[in-house]
A and B are shown apart, each in its own frame.
Chain A
Amino acid sequence: MANLVTTEDETMLADAVRGFLDRAAPVSAFRALRDAGKTHDTALWLQMAEMGWAGVLVPEAAGGADMGHAAAGILAREMGKTLVVSPFLSTAVIAATALRQVSDARAMAALAEIAKGQLTYALALDETAKFDPEGTQLTATKVGNGYQLDGRKGFVVDGGSADRLLVLARGDQGLTLFDLPADRDGINRTARNMIDSRDATDIRFDAVQATGDDILGVVDDAMTVLRPALEAGQAALAAEMTGTAIAAFDMTLSYLKDRKQFGALIGSFQALQHRAAHLWSEIEVTSSAIINAGRMLDQDPDNATLAVSLAKARAGQTAKLAVIEGVQMHGGIGMTDAFDIGFYMKRAWVAAEWLGDYSYHAEHVARLRGF
């Protein structure tokens, strides 16, 4: 089993990331973006790309930093702490991992553009209200030498601004992953008004024409490329959620040490102390699962499914508990829009749903453990 203690390099990375984000992307920046009705901050993403974050999983041959999934998890966790809005997960983690599975000249060129912050992706997968890759219905019909795509995708995170889309489609023999420009004829995008004020988009595919060149990997075999990409995304999203949980907890802990009622700090009341201690314990336990998932993806990616599902399942539960307790312990002020804790609750709910909820990942764990 991998060593689960954070290394000195990882601690230094986390400190550097935190330092930048506290200046460039504190929660107030997210609030300003929300107030302006925007769901993207292109300038911020270019700055992140300059620091190598967009290329965290891009090979050095394509100009990336190639730092691995544990490092990507650290970046995601720190971003989660201040609710950073960026295409990091969709582009730098999911798309980059998918493209790496192919690594032909076209994929390497795309990876190079990703590393520079010049190309963004979104994963168009969900069709119903629940994550279910195997249940994909969007059709890829063979027409002449090419394909025609018809159907709809929903809850496409970062889908409104992405330059390209990874689209999971069903053909006669199985599932195929297409890599299409988002502005191809027949693709119609409708922004959704999400509770977490981020970009999620519904997309219609009406007689969209594609060729064999638009396929990422091999026809009828999407999962060879997609499974590693999904697992990388799920692990990084779990890390991000844990960052969200940690920050919500820290805010709450500060409040317990500051707010007075009945002539005493409310943090001196045992009823609240024990709930805070329980929450801290849950975060510690989940953090182990996060570190483990990053290590497994780096060291034994073919056998990382259990570790990833464990991390995603635990992270969703823990983030939800952290924000539920956070709002409750803040009392009335926690219900106000002017106070930040509500942002954390809404972000946690969206993140817990994306790329598979607790039930989805619990089912994975159950099957892998034989019951």
Chain B
Amino acid sequence: MAFCHAEQVALEGLGMIADQRDPEAFRAALRGWLTENCPAEMRDGARGEDGICWGGKRWAFTSEAQKTWLDRMAAEGLTTPTWPVEVGGAGLDRAREKIFHEEMAALNARSPLQSFGIWMLGPALLKFGSEAQKQTYLPPITRGEIRWCQGYSEPGAGSDLASVQTKCEDMGDHYLVNGQKIWTSYADKADWIFALVRTDRDASKHNGISFLLIDMATEGVTTRPIRLISGASVFCETFFDNVKVPKENVVGEVNRGWDIAKYLLTHEREMISGGAAGLTGGRALGAVLAQATPDGKLTDAVLRAEAMACEIDSLAVGLTLERYKDQAESGRGVGDASAMLKYTGTELNKRRHELLMAVAGSDALDWDGVHQGLPADWLRTKANSIEGGTSEVMLSIISRRVLGLPG
């Protein structure tokens, strides 16, 4: 049973259905639909890395339920609840999006699909893409058919991202791309990459960058996973060796790619801080406690004090994220304050995982121990305050752009 046919949602998007269906009626309808359609196996909440469905041409579903859940949610536009109905979303406004997340959490339902297409490319195309690009690229993202990765950093362009050197030459009927990207998350599993490339070597460094979409199956694209301290290899090196790219694959104007990059960095910061806040609910600590102590209570006074402090800060950071989302929805935007969200969220997440390691003691010092995946998760959090702009870059953005301190 469908609870929100595309037609109804389209009307909602226009505000015409508001009188007939108040948010609470929407909540009831959504709850009914979710209860009926979410497979039991998908009701185990936000799990670690292995519970995520990333989608893509090469995706191997871990269970039939994972595929069913993805297909049913995608059919309702709920893999991308806030995207317009025309490109495969559900067109939910902020109030309904909140309700959606609350109802998903109430059911302890897994997210049906996560991807850089949803988080990053989608928002960029919705804002800067042509109609043809939106129609071509967005619907397959919502259905989990195409998996995207992000080609930003290079060996010589980390915190100083605008120094990207990957060369993109205009060959008349196509572009020719040569260069190297690094820290490309899941490049070895992705179908397409959106990349920052240099289209004008003579312009100032911010003015010669373009935002280019490249099919990873094109001849000349190779990837090499990088083994990380967590033992995982989610990040890759990606090489472009005389890669031919159609000219219509530039998003926005040629040489204006930095505008899109900046916009997306804002998104990325909110996402990273949101992910961090999401991990900070009572559950993560509770699960470790249940393993680590006989009654699930913390008796060590020092650890308990740190746990309380972490909990307080987690709740407050979570509220701040909500407040800024509300503000963005009301049209006032978030802007450079996203640097604050990113800074506070990621530093907190690191601290929280240090606490979890301390609570778990020597049991957490074993890759295969009872706290499944905790050592790897803890080590992974160390990247939170590096990727998407380091904490120090965030503080500099705040001090210059928000506080107006002299450069």
Q: Given known contacts A4-B326, A280-B398, is B312 in contact with A310 (CB within 8 Å)?
A: yes
User: 8 Å CB contacts to A: which residues of B281-337?
Assistant: 282, 285-286, 289, 296-298, 304-305, 307-309, 311-313, 315-317, 319-320, 322-323, 326-327, 330, 332, 337
Q: Is the CB of A363 within 8 A of B405?
A: no
Stretch of A43-51, A64-72, A285-293 with 4 or more beta carbons under 8 angstroms from chain B: A285-293
Q: A281 touching B308 by the CB < 8 A rule?
A: no
In angstroms, Cα B366 to Cα A177, docked, is: 56
Instruction: Identify the closest chain A residue to B340 (Cβ).
Output: A281
Beyond A277-B394, A284-B340, 17 extra complex contacts between A and B, CB < 8 Å: A5-B327, A253-B405, A268-B407, A273-B403, A274-B399, A276-B405, A277-B343, A277-B402, A278-B343, A280-B340, A281-B340, A292-B319, A313-B312, A314-B313, A362-B309, A366-B311, A369-B311
How many whole Å from B88's CB to the nearest CB in chain A?
27
- Of B297, B307, B395, B404, the most chain A CB neighbours within 10 A belong to B395
Across-interface contacts of B115 in A (CB, < 8 A): none
Q: How far is the CA of A284 from the CA of B406 in the complex (A)?
A: 21
Check A1 against B315 for contact (C-beta < 8 Å): no
Q: Is B134 an interface residue (CB 8 A)?
A: no
Give chain B interface residues in 335-376, CB to chain A under 8 Å: 337, 340, 343-344
Judged by a CB distance under 8 angstroms, whether A371 is at the interface is yes
Binary B-proximity of A304-331 (CB < 8 A = 1, otherwise 0) = 0010001001100000000000000000
Tell me the complex Cα distance, A291–B396, Å. Answer: 27
Q: Is B392 an interface residue (CB 8 A)?
A: yes
Sorted from nearest, which 7 A-B pairs have the closest CB atoms?
A: A273-B399, A277-B398, A4-B323, A288-B319, A288-B320, A277-B395, A362-B308
B319 touching A284, Cβ below 8 Å: no
A280 adjacent to B403 (CB under 8 Å): yes
Inter-chain contacts of A292 with B (CB < 8 A): 319
Cross-chain contact B297 with A371 (CB below 8 angstroms): yes
Cross-chain contact B396 with A281 (CB below 8 angstroms)? no
CB distance from A67 to the nearest CB of B (A): 21
Q: Given known contacts A371-B298, A371-B307, is B398 in contact with A291 (CB within 8 Å)?
A: no
State the majority secondary structure of interface residues on A: helix
A286 / chain B contacts, CB cutoff of 8 Å: 316
| B231-290 with Cβ < 8 A to chain A | 282, 285-286, 289
In contact, B322 and A285 (Cβ under 8 angstroms): no
Given the complex of chains A and B, what is the CA–CA distance between A267 and B298 in angstroms? 43
> Whole-angstrom distance from the CB of A270 to the nearest CB of chain B?
7
User: Binding site of B, secondary structure by majority: helix, strand, loop or mixed?
Assistant: helix
A residues sitting closer than 8 Å to B (CB atoms) are 1, 3-5, 253, 256-257, 265, 267-268, 270, 273-274, 276-278, 280-281, 284-289, 291-292, 306, 310, 313-314, 362-363, 365-366, 369-371
Q: Which residues of B contact A274 (CB under 8 A)?
A: 392, 395-396, 399
User: Is A4 in contact with B319, judged by CB distance below 8 angstroms?
Assistant: yes
Report chain B residues within 8 Å CB of A366.
304, 307-308, 311
**Cα–Cα, bound, A265→B316 (Å):** 33
Query: Given A281-B343, A289-B316, A369–B282 Cβ distance below 8 Å?
Result: yes
Inter-chain contact B286/A370, CB cutoff 8 Å: yes
What are 20 A-to-B residue pairs whose CB atoms are below 8 Å?
A3-B326, A5-B327, A257-B406, A267-B406, A268-B405, A273-B403, A274-B392, A274-B396, A277-B402, A280-B398, A280-B403, A281-B343, A285-B320, A289-B319, A306-B315, A310-B316, A362-B309, A363-B308, A365-B315, A371-B296
Query: Which residues of chain B have C-beta atoms less than 8 A from A257's C-beta?
Result: 404-406
| A280, A286, A306: most-surrounded residue (chain B CB, <10 A) | A280
Q: B344 — which chain A residues lie within 8 A by C-beta?
A: 281, 285
Distance in angstroms between the alpha carbons of A288 and B282 in the assembled complex: 19
Is the beta-carbon distance between A285 and B316 smaller than 8 angstroms? yes
Q: How far is the CA of A254 from the CA of B296 in the complex (A)?
A: 49
What is the bound-complex CA distance between A1 and B330, given in angstroms? Answer: 16
Among B285, B343, B394, the residue within 8 A (CB) of A371 is B285
Q: A5-B323, A5-B330, A370-B282 are in contact. Are A277 and B315 (CB under 8 A)?
A: no
Q: Do B289 and A371 touch across chains, with their CB atoms under 8 A apart?
A: yes
- CB-CB under 8 A from B405, the residues of chain A are 253, 256-257, 267-268, 273, 276
